[in-house]
Amino acid sequence: MEAAAEALGGPAALSCFSYNQDCTSLAIGTTTGYRLFSLSSVEQLDQVHESNEIPDVYIVERLFSSSLVVVVSHAKPQQMNVYHFKKGTEICNYSYSSNILSIRLNRQRLIVCLEESIYIHNIKDMKLLKTILDTPPNTTGLCALSINHANSYLAYPGSATSGEIALYDGNTLKTACTIAAHDGPLAALTFNSTGSKLASASEKGTVIRVFSIPGGQKLYEFRRGMKRYVNISSLVFSMDSQFLCASSNTETVHIFKLEHLTDSRPEEPPTWTGYMGKMFQAATNYLPAQVSGMMNQDRAFATVRLNISGQRNICALSTIQKLPRLLVTTSDGHLYIYNLDPQDGGECVLIQKHSLLGSGKMEENKENDLQPPLPQSYAATVARQSTVPSTSTMPGYSEDGGALRGEVIPEHEFATGPVCLDDENEFPPLVGDREQEFSISPTPSPKKDIAVSPIWSKPFGPQSSWEECLRSSTAREKSFASFCRTCSLSMWFGAMQMPASRNHAAPE
């Protein structure tokens, strides 16, 4: 849920931004420090905290709605600083052998990802529990941690050249499994709130897959688009796991709906739609695997057309004021809030726009913010790649301590008057009934009946002559009947109002 962005210049340019684990808070890093915002209201963006002690912040992560914040700056890219921002004290700091690329948190574990190693800390006392060495080169720091501390699964790339996912159990500190998710290298990973599902996308960005955890079986496959490859910048589930949102360097944000899986499909009624569905399903068995795979992939349930293109952004699905919302934060320093229709989907409606670098007050929705942008070329939509500081040699490592290999971390230094990490009144936040749950619980829309004429209530065949069909069918049915009798697949396409690929002759 994090993104790094190029500095925009000015007194407080935006450098990074991230949502907390349940998408109730937004953290941004700037050239002067970092800021924390509460996402409890649509009309007003409340700033919870601002710090200017550490400049040039490029990683800032908050643990749920607690007072614990983890910060990494360009000045010391190999050092992680942990703060209790309400008390204004530093809890601890750790130094590593190379630049820190990403940090992930839950109530049980803190994960630090370097390019070729991963460190697992116990968040109660910050003790180092495990070091995963010699991981495949991971230049972007891609990894995902389940926010459910009961099963702290960690996912990271298992290969630098293919889409293999390595799944690691952060509680037992053992490898769970590997998942062959994509053909190309991975670009995005995310768990749902319970840690029972894992979504992934490759660098092509056209197909998004969802797997069961810890088994690794494929549950869903969604197609974002076919026209061009894109850079997926964020991938996130809703808290109730009913929706999955993906944003990229293009102007379109896609929201997919995860329908409930059933062991057996209900029997289709004896109508022409039922027969056409069976024939279409049978036809896919005779097509190449790639073609039949595309036909079986689900499309977006809802979309958003941003009024920007080529800017890095991250998205979140949250419940604000008891309604489902889509949140989009962009590298130009704005937060967009959209309404999401959980029943019918479609185009999400922009209801508010906030400035993150200003006073935090809402901005007036200009007319052009509500209009989709004009189509642009692919070159114009390529995102600016985020960069991390180059590796620099840090003093203070012993020759036998192993810090240069990443096996042993120097002892952290506690600030004066250390904060007790086991104090449940301060940190971590209480777990249980007092923890507020945010969920999207749409009411399923009733299934609409499809009206058909009597002649089409039975399968099309010799018992119905061509002339009889033309006399009795409606204009829509005539369009269907006009397909070639020798090209049955095109007839099935015609039933779904898909254009024919070539001229056809009418049946005799």
Mean pLDDT by 10 residues, the chain (508 residues): 49 89 97 97 96 96 98 98 96 97 98 98 96 96 97 97 97 96 97 98 94 97 77 96 95 91 49 57 49 55 89 95 97 96 96 85 46 41 39 35 38 44 49 39 43 38 44 42 42 41 43
Going by their DSSP bridges, the two strands 109-113 and 117-122 should be labelled as: antiparallel
For residues 166 and 157, give the distance between their C-alpha atoms in angstroms, rounded to a whole number: 6
pLDDT score at 229: 76
- In contact, 337 and 351? CB cutoff 8 Å: yes
Tell me the domains of the chain and their CATH numbers.
2-381 (2.130.10.10), 454-495 (no CATH)
Q: Are 70 and 82 in contact (CB under 8 A)?
A: yes
What is the reported pLDDT for 290?
44
> For the chain, what is the largest distance between any 2 Cα atoms, rounded to a whole number of angstroms?
93
Q: Which residue has the tokens 């999400």?
A: 348
Phi, psi of 478, deg, nearest 5: -65, -40
H or E element in which residue 420 lies: none
Inter-axis angle of helices 272-283 and 488-495, nearest 10: 130
Would you state the pLDDT for residue 12? 73
Q: Is 364 exposed, middle or buried (0-12, 13-18, 19+ CB in 10 A)?
A: exposed
